A and B are shown apart, each in its own frame.
Chain A
């Protein structure tokens, strides 16, 4: 098996064995690029890093107060208030324990547990997302102000409603029930 014959003749180009001074240029250039990008990544990481914590940690640990962080919690449907003229959304989220295996189940338990830790959320300037509803998971970026209200700048929502949907419900499928 030989190399394909359409390869350019060898004499047109430099053979592999010859190591010229050019190599160092490439090496230095490469290192410079690497250094620049490493710096870029590190500085951007510092600028964009957000602790991603639970509602419980936010409420109980004072070190997070006032800092820009991300939290995740279960939306309590009854608390959603929306001023559509001024685009102000207020609602509360309940703590989701961090060691869950089934998110939809964890959300269900969080919103139904009267003892779960909750925090009020305040967002201005955002249209109420369609997914903002009872038992949705809200992921928010913002900070906890002095009054204990979380001032959010970014709201992402996730609705894994599998738990409710995953079972057709026993009373309905029972023939004649």
Chain B
């Protein structure tokens, strides 16, 4: 039932999306409001339909409907309820459905909130949004269908006696089977009987294989298999019957234990929200190009959507890092793996976009550039999805190779070509000319442009390292060349440094032109504070390493500029309005959410930057075997191995836990429990750590001697300042919330002549 419900609603959603594409395009051409409203309603409908489909899948997961092959793949009777629900995005098929659901949710939101204020753009917005939704629905329905079920069906085996074959016959057997692309199952019917077979094929195929073998001089017979054949199918195959779910349940493996972590549960939805959210700015930009309304309307409509997506993308990246740090047990959080980079690439372009749209809004410049950025962001989202889900790139992240590679690649190529074509067409008609030109290098707009250039170059460098070099080398040199961590560790730091420097200077510069003197004066106090910070960090870490101190300096400066600018604003309000500090800061953020929210984001990025520098340059590691009661000194801490416990968790996994005490001097700081979980198929090492703002004392239980574990081996990492990364993430989140919080009334501008209709109750004219 659930599978049918899911299938039907997904299919209806595709029909609705296709109708919306046609109707909205027609409405845009003919300026028909009736058709447009109909198109919008169809577009809105995709969300409840997909929600129903996703709920059907979730219900299947919760109820253990193991006949659904997706349920069978990602859960088993031992899976707790929470992980059953989150298994919706636990594997490729479900996550594609989930992804499409989120996309239709964003489309729903944009069509509801921006409907009145941006009527002129709406027809094409609907067309583009629904085109993307429809494409993903095609993938869900025809390539990666989560509603497929297991079916038992009466197939045939073609069997022969392998043991009696001569060497020459074996060779011809292999040739025949390879030509037919037929797989064999050896030793059918018990070990050592020497019987091999091509099993579970339909009659026609069986005859074909037998005849080919006969021709090659091998005697083969068609027989009924000892057991029924099982196959995965969306629709009921002929003569098939449903298998017993109870028996299926016994073979289900359950969710990969590595994914049973808080960070892994919310990291994918966050990333997906960040990814799919970028469809809104993209659709509005394309609508602007298609409709010819090239004012800042599309930017105003989508700024908030872009910010929200950016926030989710940022959180997704940070949570992914946190998961890797907690679960993978290598003491790091970012490995420059292609899949990680694929998520980082849209973030880079998206960040550039968020900055450069300000210039278009304030100064009417960079119109074409912004179009390229918004399209580049979405294009990077689709490319990243394609690259990671199709198995194009060998990565540690275990997405299986899949058939969706080709369609995704073509979709990506088509949207990119159409987008760029539209931009060039409008540009050629002179409709993307800037209102102003750049006058002075030391102006805010110039510094913003520089920031954009650096972001894009960073994008290019990371893209080249992750995808460009491997793909081009295997295409043209017939030899795959990959770029390892060394590449990224060399190429990215100079560019990040440039970005932090700009983050320190740009907020102090003025539109138009800034004098060096003014800039210098504004920098004085932040510079002073930064020097104090750098000295403090140098003392804390006992370092005189110039690279590290320089890193702390430029990141710190960017943060202090943000803080000091906020302070100055509040101080001015205090003076002019006579407000108290709290009131002044509150009013300041309220008055100019975007600006001060942005400063808070800058502060968050600074804190993250300091954490990254500290944990990358000053990580220490050691390993040692300790007897019970024995201690070791490391990084200023003392660690004592106290005890060893074996326990069984609720879900049946065995846990081996080491009790460890961390102390400093005479003071006991914490008891931590690094452990080893044994899932049926898979051991999992879970680190114990003592976290302070200063560092993480991160302990892995590596091994233990005999059952009583009189001695155990530990690997220990000291990760200085790493917690700043997570704290910076929280600051960044608050800053983005403030910047994205709605303030102004919806501006009803650029109404189409027929816009008055929209003020009538909807549906009045349908």
Contact = CB atoms under 8 A, between A and B. Distances in A.
Contact of A51 (B227, B435, B464, B479): B479
Identify which of A10, A29, A49, A104 gathers the most chain B CB atoms within 10 Å of its CB. A49
A104 B491 CA distance: 34
Interface string B499-516: 000000000000010000
Interface string B524-544: 000000000000000000000
Given A48-B490, A130-B682, A173-B247, A84 B483 contact: no
A148 interface: no
Identify which of B362, B470, B481, B495 gathers the most chain A CB atoms within 10 Å of its CB. B481
Given A33-B453, A49-B483, A177-B227, A44 B491 contact: yes
A72 B398 contact: no
Interface string A65-97: 000001010000000001011010000000000
A128 to B, nearest CB: 8
Given A3-B364, A160-B400, A14 B487 contact: no
A78 B446 CA distance: 62
Contact count band on A: 35 or more
A16 B398 contact: no
A20 B479 CA distance: 49
Contacts of A70: 482, 484
Interface of A is mostly: mixed
Contacts of B479: 51, 53
A165 B225 CA distance: 21
B15 interface: no
Given A170-B230, A177-B227, A130 B329 contact: yes
Interface string A30-62: 100110010011011101111111000000000
B706 to A, nearest CB: 13
Interface in A148-177: 154, 156-162, 165-175, 177
B73 interface: yes
Contacts of B465: 44-45, 48
Contacts of A133: 682
Contacts of B395: 158
B671 interface: no
Given A25-B441, A172-B251, A173-B152, A12 B512 contact: yes
Nearest to A29: B441
A72 B361 CA distance: 50
A20 B13 CA distance: 56
Given A44-B465, A44-B491, 4 more contacts: A7-B435, A139-B396, A170-B230, A174-B152
12 contacts: A7-B435, A16-B437, A22-B438, A23-B438, A48-B485, A48-B488, A49-B483, A85-B713, A131-B258, A156-B396, A173-B227, A177-B227
Interface of A: 1, 3-4, 7-8, 10, 12-16, 18-20, 22-23, 25-26, 29-30, 33-34, 37, 40-41, 43-45, 47-53, 70, 72, 82, 84-85, 87, 101-104, 125, 127-131, 133, 139, 141, 154, 156-162, 165-175, 177
